[in-house]
Structure 1
Amino acid sequence: MVKAAGAEGAARRSVWLAGKERRSGRGGGQPSGLDRARITGATVRLLDAEGLTGFSMRRLAAELNVTAMSVYWYVDTKDDLLELALDAAFGELPLPRPDTGEDWRGELRALAVGYRALLVRHPWLSPLAGRYLNIGPNALACSREVRRVIGRTGLPPHGVTGAISAVFQFVYGYGTIEGHLLGRIADSGLSPEEYHRQLPDSMSRAPETAGATEGAHDVVAVRDGETVAESLDRDFAFALDLLVAGIDAMAARG
């Protein structure tokens, strides 16, 4: 789940790299009642409430009831804050315990389900995961656990990275799109079920999309008596089962 930054300059700016002072404050005179943990927690809450477009240092300072300059005692830039928030979010991902005796399939499913939930809960996470190096302690712990679980599959060493990509890039895409969908539904003021029922009708009345309504329900294939959430869970579980079966088959081939 570690994403590489696109340029060396971006890498040098990472808040996590050696040589970048890791501090709880810049020294004497820093504002009382603040520390990085409190600032990071407020950043996560603000991003959840208002998204990346609504986030600013001034808005964060107002949330903390301090001046913007007070925040700068603890971080140098807005990017530092976003990196800290990104890693704090990865700290919410439940990691499997190696001593439980569960096989790799159960561990992999648990990681995938947790990652999907994280992406939906924090819609701002997916764009940030592609923007930064993602080398904070929580993100690295997640990556180590993913490699440990995939290492148990029996795949040859050259297949490990491909298997990780297949599963977690699928989850990244599914969770990102699901988060966008739920955001659109929330903005509409409708329930998910009302939104799903009304969307094809709305499309059929618009000349530009009238011909695209056939099969529109298949975007979220809700069955009779099933909620939108249940349909999303069902489709996710089925797709994940396909990937697990594929890993099993490739491991058997050696």
Structure 2
Amino acid sequence: MVAAADRDTKRPARMSVWLDGKAATSRGRRPGGDQPSGLDRDRITAATVRLLDEEGLAKFSMRRLAAELNVTAMSLYWYVDSKDDLLELASDAAVGEVPLPDEAEDGDWRDRLRRLAEGYRALLVRHPWMSPLMGRFLNVGPHWAAFVLSVQRIVRSTGLPPDRQTGAIAAVFQFVYGFGTIEGHFLRRCEEAGLSQDEYFRYAMSAVDGQPELAPMVDSAAEMVAARGGGTVEEMRDRDFAFAFELLLAGIEAMSSGDGT
């Protein structure tokens, strides 16, 4: 247990750049003083996203970002307090790339949910650094809030009772999160190895086939793999995603119609 004196002096847990008032300041600048010329928070955030895409989360630093922008690292602190603030701003900017259904759209909820899920999957593949950040921040920036609200509205329109709606959201979007995260990391491994997806897959499968202790797993999967058919890695992955997503939609439909328990 923490001693009383320690509890009294312990710093409060960091919440969010969107909740501490800093994000609301004019273009993110601190009040007073001479701010560095040529910088603003939008430009800094865009450069952060670009660097994270190119080099990954592990290599990102304020010093590296400053070099990219041709400024001193201290210049960045006129606009943000920490690297965490920048990562949270970058995450919100990136999720703004996901196309959201029109609020006035009267289309089938399945189509709207499918399009939103496909956009979310593409986001995770395009920006593989995002997945480890999602549980790190509250995700309450303007783009994240718009995304979550869109999800909520679609799931409400399914006919599921309110006590089952959060479970449906978890089933759909945690599935997409896992699928898109693995896909994004696989693509990064292929790039680092200098191989195409199909080349990397063949190389990996040949290595697995040469391990007798893995034979039971390989043999067990052989029938399913054969039934799925050939094609490129991308085609097989898209086929699996589409079918898995249809299973989720069917489950939601069954529960909303009273056929489920």
1:54-104 alpha-carbon deviations (Å, 9 max, x no partner):
100000000000000111110000000000001001111100013232111
Q: Match for 2:17: what amino acid?
A: V
Q: Which has the higher contact order (CA 8 A, sep 6+)?
A: 1
**Higher CA-based Rg:** 2
- State the shift of 1:30 in Å: 0.4
| Residues in 2 aligned to 1:48 and 1:217: alpha-carbon distance in whole angstroms | 38
| Residues in 1 aligned to 2:82 and 2:205: alpha-carbon distance in whole angstroms | 45
Number of aligned residue pairs: give it: 245
- State the shift of 1:187 in Å: 1.7
Residue 62 (str. 1) matches residue 67 (str. 2) = yes
Gaps of 5+ in 2: 1-10
Structure 1 residues 183 and 197: alpha-carbon distance in aligned structure 2, compared to 1, 3 A threshold: same
Give the aligned partner of residue 173 of structure 1: 178
| Residues in 1 aligned to 2:22 and 2:223: alpha-carbon distance in whole angstroms | 50
Query: How do residues 206-245 of structure 1 correspond to structure 2 at under 5 angstroms?
Result: 206=211, 209=214, 212-214=217-219, 215=221, 223-224=229-230, 226-245=231-250
Give the aligned partner of residue 25 of structure 1: 29
Give the aligned partner of residue 142 of structure 2: 137
| Residues in 1 aligned to 2:180 and 2:209: alpha-carbon distance in whole angstroms | 28
Query: How do residues 174-213 of structure 1 correspond to structure 2 at under 5 angstroms?
Result: 174-206=179-211, 209=214, 212-213=217-218
Question: RMSD of the alignment, in Å?
Answer: 2.3
Find 1:79's aligned residue among 71, 80, 84.
Answer: 84
- How does the TM-score come out when normalised to structure 2? 0.87
Structure 1 residues 228 and 218: alpha-carbon distance in aligned structure 2, compared to 1, 3 A threshold: farther
SS at match of 2:257: helix
**Range moving further from structure 2, 13-22 or 53-62:** 13-22
Contact 1:51 1:124 in 2 (8 A): yes
- State the shift of 1:198 in Å: 2.0
Contact 1:222 1:228 in 2 (8 A): no
Identity %: 62
Contact 1:203 1:212 in 2 (8 A): no
Structure 1 residues 220 and 25: alpha-carbon distance in aligned structure 2, compared to 1, 3 A threshold: farther
Give the aligned partner of residue 52 of structure 1: 57
